[in-house]
């Protein structure tokens, strides 16, 4: 009997050692599982460090795995710390420089990021990730031609990388080469049909090329894939507005604002849609939201002034338009709008002054001639009015009212 207890203890110790070994293998696999949720990866890698049993040769790789997970969580400072430790442990690991470069680039440290990618390329000259990372850092630095060369190299090395095609397309779109951007986004989608940003960006490229139905289709797919992205709703809403489908556009902009209550551009665009749809009170409310956040937004002041003018709030319209012109002097459109407000007040002299200023700023502004013609008519200056109507028509104002005036005067048939 005296041997039973020691044997039992030895068996228990062996079982515990086996369990610890199994745990170690399990957490090592979890730490390296790139398909797992990033928080789970961080937990697993942290467990390995806390265990005190991590093999010396595995320390750098574990820091890299946790650093990559931090990048996925957008915790870039933590990522930089871990990847810096990996570099210190093993300066021959290109992956540590690549992912530290990504973390640096995402925190605005583009020069430092470029240096990291340079080191990675020196270690592994054919690693597409390093060229792609450097391309994005160069693009953020405004070095577009070197960025383009690196995008080209990344795609040549790994032509099945949807993100590389998407990123190069973004550079092309930024340079307004929408045909090239469209081709790159299309290739990204072919490689990864669930790449929501590629669908949205291709929609923007289509919209820039006036393919509005195609843009709507792409934005709709982006929304289907990521319904929580306010930008996709915004893009589709603005495009509906360009198609004069204001109610649908406003509904999409409502959703964008629901998802992001601080989305200034969405308030601005919804205000403009409401203005065009003659929902003047709603337009004013939207521009109030813009101006609460950006008090010196000259175009928001101008548009709120127009909405107030159309609502009969002439004095408040003049206040907004005065402020808009103070912020953006020399804008012909603003002078025309303020001239219309002075007309509504019955002050033809002030109205004439603004229409004259508009035409000095832009001698080809058709509406300025049309509005000045109306002011001349009010002042019984018929010859001057007719001359301005003729000039407006010549510049493209073929509205029914202008056409009727010229027909009545025998100027056109």
Long-range CB contacts (within 8 A, 24+) of 185-188 = 187/162, 188/162, 188/163
Domains with residue ranges and CATH for the chain = 17-133 (1.25.40.10), 160-225 (1.25.40.10), 228-294 (1.25.40.10)
Sorting pLDDT into bands at 50, 70 and 90, what band is 23?
A: confident
- The DSSP secondary-structure symbol of 57 reads G
Q: Range with the lowest mean pLDDT among 18-22, 101-105, 113-117, 143-147?
A: 18-22
pLDDT digits (tens, 9 = 90+) for 241-289: 999 999 999 999 999 999 999 999 999 999 999 999 999 999 999 999 9
Q: What is the residue-wise DSSP string for 177-227? A: -HHHHHHHHHHHHHH-TT-HHHHHHHHHHHHHTT-HHHHHHHHHHHHHH-T
**How many Cβ atoms from other residues are within 10 Å of residue 52's Cβ?**
6
Q: Flag whether pLDDT at 1 surpasses 70.
A: no
Q: What is the overall mean pLDDT for the chain?
A: 94
pLDDT digits (tens, 9 = 90+) for 40-61: 999 999 999 999 888 888 999 9
Looking at residue 2, its pLDDT comes to: 44
Q: Flag whether pLDDT at 5 surpasses 50.
A: no
Query: What does pTM read for this prediction?
Result: 0.86
Under 8 Å CB-to-CB from 304, ≥6 apart: which residues? 271, 283, 284, 287, 288, 291, 320
Residues 295, 284: Cα–Cα separation, whole Å? 14
pLDDT digits (tens, 9 = 90+) for 177-218: 999 999 999 999 999 999 999 999 999 999 999 999 999 999
Sorting pLDDT into bands at 50, 70 and 90, what band is 17?
A: very low
Looking at residue 413, its pLDDT comes to: 84
């Amino acid at each position: 009997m005296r041997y039973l207890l020691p044997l039992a203890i030895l068996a228990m110790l062996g079982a515990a050692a086996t369990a610890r070994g199994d745990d170690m293998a399990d957490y090592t696999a979890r730490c390296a599982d790139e398909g797992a949720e990033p928080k789970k990866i961080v937990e697993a890698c942290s467990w390995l460090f806390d265990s005190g049993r991590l093999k010396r040769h595995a320390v750098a790789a574990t820091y890299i795995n946790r650093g990559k997970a931090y990048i996925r969580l957008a915790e870039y400072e933590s990522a930089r710390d871990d990847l810096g430790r990996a570099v210190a442990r093993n300066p021959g690991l290109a992956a540590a420089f690549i992912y530290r470069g990504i973390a640096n680039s995402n925190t605005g440290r583009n020069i430092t990021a470029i240096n990291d990618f340079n080191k990675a390329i020196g270690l592994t000259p054919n690693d597409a990730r390093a060229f792609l990372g450097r391309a994005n850092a160069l693009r953020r630095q405004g070095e577009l031609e070197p960025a383009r060369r690196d995008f080209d190299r990344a795609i040549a090395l790994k032509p099945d990388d949807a993100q590389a095609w998407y990123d190069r397309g973004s550079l092309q779109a930024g340079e307004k080469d929408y045909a090239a951007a469209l081709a790159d986004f299309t290739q990204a989608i072919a490689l990864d049909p669930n790449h929501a940003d590629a669908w949205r960006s291709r929609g923007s490229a289509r919209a820039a090329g006036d393919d509005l139905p195609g843009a709507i289709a792409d934005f709709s797919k982006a929304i289907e894939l990521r319904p929580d992205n306010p930008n996709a709703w915004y893009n589709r809403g603005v495009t509906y507005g360009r198609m004069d489908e204001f109610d649908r556009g406003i509904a999409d902009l409502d959703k964008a604002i629901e998802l992001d209550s601080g989305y200034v551009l969405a308030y601005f665009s919804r205000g403009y849609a409401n203005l065009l749809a003659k929902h003047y009170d709603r337009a004013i409310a939207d521009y109030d939201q813009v101006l609460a956040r950006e008090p010196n937004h000259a175009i928001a002041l101008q548009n709120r002034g127009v909405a107030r003018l159309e609502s009969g709030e002439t004095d408040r319209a003049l206040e907004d338009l005065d402020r808009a012109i103070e912020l953006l002097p020399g804008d012909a459109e603003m002078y025309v709008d303020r001239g219309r407000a002075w007309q509504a007040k019955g002050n033809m002299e002030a109205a004439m002054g603004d229409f004259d200023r508009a035409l000095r700023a832009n001698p080809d502004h058709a509406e300025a001639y049309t509005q000045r013609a109306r002011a001349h008519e009010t002042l019984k200056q018929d010859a001057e009015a007719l001359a301005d109507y003729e000039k407006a028509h010549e510049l493209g104002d073929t509205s029914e009212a202008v056409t009727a005036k010229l027909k009545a005067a025998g100027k056109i048939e």
